[in-house]
Amino acid sequence: MLNGKTALVTGGSSGIGLAAARLLRDKGARVAIMGSSQEKLDRAVADLGNDVVALRGDVTSLDDLAKVRDALETAFGGLDILFANAGVAFGTPIATTDEAGYHRMMDVNVKGVFFTVQAVLPLMREGGSIVLNTSWLNQVGTPGRALLSASKAAVRSFARTLAAELIDRKIRVNAVSPGSIETPIHRSNGQSEEEFRAYAEKVGAQVPMGRMGRPEEIAAAVLFLASDASSYMLGAEIVVDGGRAEL
């Protein structure tokens, strides 16, 4: 399905990005993953296989993004698919959140996505597809999540604007909007597996489908948006949330 294509997955060393990298590779693409921790990248390559290219870099650093672009050019020549997925999530209650927390959220989730697209754009070929990762939180209000929700609403907006801006280059931009997905982003330090299962059950009970989602369920939508199967989709968002934001 993706034979002859190349892909970059930011945040491809864990969770949703790791599942997407695996699926894109299994469908024939040559895949590179980017993350800020070398240790996590090494673990991901051990899991995925040595055919995956690991590129260390922080999406908040324009220098790192330029280096990643250069490394991609050396490895692949050009790029057909970008899954701009790297992101962070934490609570930011209005009464207690400080400026550093504000900058951290917006730097990774908003600035990081914008400049990732800018950095790799010179490598992107006609017919390319950019998939942005938003969140079910971009369309609902939940307490303590003002900055996470606003950051993802900004990314939802990028999908529309960048789609309009890149249409002349025949590069499509769309988004995937995950619900609550079982990934390390939901795990806290020192939490036992038993404690995490209890947490996952509690969160799952808030979802109409009665459970948290699996990273592979988001990867399936990413594959669709990345491939020509979605050739008539532009500036749109696929919601994959077990009904969390829709019902």
Ligand X SMILES: NC(=O)c1ccc[n+]([C@@H]2O[C@H](COP(=O)([O-])OP(=O)(O)OC[C@H]3O[C@@H](n4cnc5c(N)ncnc54)[C@H](OP(=O)(O)O)[C@@H]3O)[C@@H](O)[C@H]2O)c1
Q: Using CB under 6 A, which of 180, 221, 227, 238 touches ligand X?
A: 180
- The answer to whether the CB of 59 falls within 8 A of the CB of 86 is yes
What are 123's two structure tokens? 């490598």
Helix (H, G, I), strand (E, B) or coil at 124: strand
| Interaction between residue 138 and ligand X (CB under 6 A) | no
> Kind of pairing, strands 6-10 and 53-56?
unpaired
Q: Using CB under 6 A, which of 7, 55, 65, 108 touches ligand X?
A: 108
Q: Give the total of residues touching ligand X (CB under 6 A).
A: 29
| Interaction between residue 154 and ligand X (CB under 6 A) | no
Nearer to ligand X, 17 or 235 (CB): 17
| Interaction between residue 120 and ligand X (CB under 6 A) | no
Nearer to ligand X, 61 or 97 (CB): 61
Q: Using CB under 6 A, which of 58, 80, 217, 237 touches ligand X?
A: 58
Question: CA-to-CA distance for 119 and 33, rounded, in angstroms?
Answer: 15
Q: Using CB under 6 A, which of 2, 15, 130, 226 touches ligand X?
A: 15
Question: CA-to-CA distance for 229 and 167, rounded, in angstroms?
Answer: 17
| Interaction between residue 22 and ligand X (CB under 6 A) | no
Q: Give min distance, CB of 168 to ligand X, in A.
A: 28
Q: What is the CA radius of gyration of the chain?
A: 17
Site for ligand X in 218-237 (CB under 6 A): none
| Interaction between residue 85 and ligand X (CB under 6 A) | yes
Compute the CA torsion angle 38, 22, 122, 64 (nearest 10 deg).
-10
What are 120's two structure tokens? 């790799």
- The answer to whether the CB of 6 falls within 8 A of the CB of 27 is no
Residue 46's CB is within 10 A of a number of other CB atoms, namely: 9
Q: Using CB under 6 A, which of 6, 14, 138, 174 touches ligand X?
A: 14
What are 174's two structure tokens? 């769309």
| Interaction between residue 217 and ligand X (CB under 6 A) | no
Contact set with ligand X (CB under 6 A): 10-11, 13-17, 35-37, 40, 58-60, 85-89, 108, 112, 133, 135, 178, 180-181, 183-185
